[in-house]
Homo-oligomer: A and B are copies of this chain.
């Protein structure tokens, strides 16, 4: 790989990491205006989120989904628990959700696709650890 290619790849990865950091922040930001600003930073306008339990499409639905999760599980924090692994227009990372201190309650992995502008077009979450119903 040439130095030029390496530099371009490093820049790209940095941009993807910034998008993922903004995405993680959307889960934890309870101030409505700041959460919506983070959603606009992370997601394309038509962004589409799906996991086994929830789904939302577009900034408004994504914001309402996150507000509902925060209301249901006050004090829970989403933490990224792996590196940001990306290639082509795809990204993956693992995460945990639970109280700020103490063991996680839910764990999983998010697979995302990115627009040419580097925003999230899709996130599909899969669950690796979940409390029994």
Contact = CB atoms under 8 A, between A and B. Distances in A.
A79 interface: no
Complex copy number for this chain: 2
A52 interface: yes
A55 interface: yes
Interface of A: 50-52, 55, 85, 87-88, 90, 92, 109, 111, 113, 124, 126
A111 B92 contact: yes
A82 to B, nearest CB: 10
A124 B90 contact: yes
18 contacts: A50-B87, A50-B88, A50-B90, A51-B87, A52-B87, A55-B88, A85-B126, A87-B126, A88-B124, A90-B111, A90-B124, A90-B126, A92-B109, A92-B111, A92-B126, A111-B111, A111-B124, A113-B124
